[in-house]
Amino acid sequence: MIKIVVAGFNGRMGSTATKMVLANEAFQLVGVLDPTETKTNLNELAEYGQVDVPIFTEKEALLISQPDVWIDFTMPEFALTHTQFALEHGIRPVVGTTGFSEADVAFLTKLSREKETGGLIAPNFAIGAVLMMEFSKKAAKFFPDVEIIELHHDKKLDAPSGTAIKTAEMISEVRNPKQQGNPDEVETLAGARGADYEGMRIHSVRLPGLIAHQQVQFGGEGEGLTIRHDSFDRSSFMGGVALGCKEVMKRNELIYGLENLL
């Protein structure tokens, strides 16, 4: 039985992850974390019924639960501190919070190796999204002209999304930097061409009603290729979260990207 805590359990993703852990026979939920929560136990919240799980408002306090895994769906400004804290205390982080810089990931990876503690940071936990990134990387060998369009709900804080950045990073492994479009093009409205990643363009859409969607658009002479993934419900991410919780128990360092566990 893997003992798990969930940080950010009151958020949409955190709530879904909390319920996934409770429903999984291989897991035991031993605590949840939210610094603003006034209740002290999940059984005080109607949506969780009679489940007896303590609610913590300080990360130091949850160490009493002796968790094996720390699931984090919080805010970018907390996720780095949380992940570092988990690794320093021998807890394996499974992090879906996005906004980590390359320097952040390098720092945490180095720390995980020093502590010989496994972990996972995944910009996207949906299996279909991971496949979309892998297929895009393969296609980029043949279609170096590519633009990424990511679409999310209007409550998302970071842009572009972690998935879009990870996709661009994976494509760049097989694609030489190339400036796309007309060399003399002019943006008559600032930002019209989107963010520039080694010549690739990334566009972010934020609208109510969306969950998480991404389209990778390739163009070639006389043809085009579109690879798209849509998450219509947050439950689509839970299979990847569950897989991550099991796999980090077998690892002794931090992994970046769910595709590295498949």
Residue 152 a catalytic site member: yes
Gap between the Cα atoms of 87 and 14, Å rounded:
20
Tens digit of pLDDT for each residue in 80-103?
A: 999 999 999 999 999 998 888 889
* Domain spans, the chain: 2-121+235-261, 127-231
> Residues forming the annotated binding site for (S)-2,3,4,5-tetrahydrodipicolinate?
153, 162-163
Does the model's pTM come out above 0.85? no
Number of H helices, E strands in the chain: 6, 12
pLDDT tens per residue, range 212-260: 999 999 999 999 999 999 999 888 999 999 999 999 999 999 999 898 8
H runs (alpha helix) in 141-253: 162-172, 238-247
In the chain, % of residues over pLDDT 70: 100
HSE of 26, CA atoms in CB hemisphere, 13 A: 9
Task: For residue 22, give the 3-state DSSP assignment.
Answer: helix
Distance CA 230, CA 178 (A): 28
Looking at residue 249, its pLDDT comes to: 97
Structure confidence at residue 74 as a pLDDT band (50, 70, 90): very high
Q: Annotated binding site for NAD(+): which residue ranges?
A: 8-13, 34, 96-98, 122-125
CATH of 2-121+235-261 among 3.40.50.1980, 3.40.50.280, 3.10.20.30, 3.40.50.720: 3.40.50.720
Checking if the pLDDT of 134 tops 90, the result is yes
Give the tens place of pLDDT for each residue, 7-36. 999 998 999 999 999 999 999 999 999 999
CA 214 – CA 229 distance, rounded (Å)? 5
Residue positions forming the annotated binding site: 8-13, 34, 96-98, 122-125, 153, 162-163
Output b/e per residue, 110-131; b: 16+ Cβ within 10 A: ebbeebebbbbbbbbbbbebbe
Residue range 154-165: mean pLDDT, rounded? 91
Top CATH class of 127-231 equals: alpha beta
Residue in 59, 82, 115, 152 annotated catalytic: 152
Q: Please confirm, yes or no, whether 229 is among the known catalytic residues.
A: no
The confidence band for 149, taking pLDDT boundaries of 50, 70 and 90, is very high
Counting every residue written for the chain, the total comes to 262
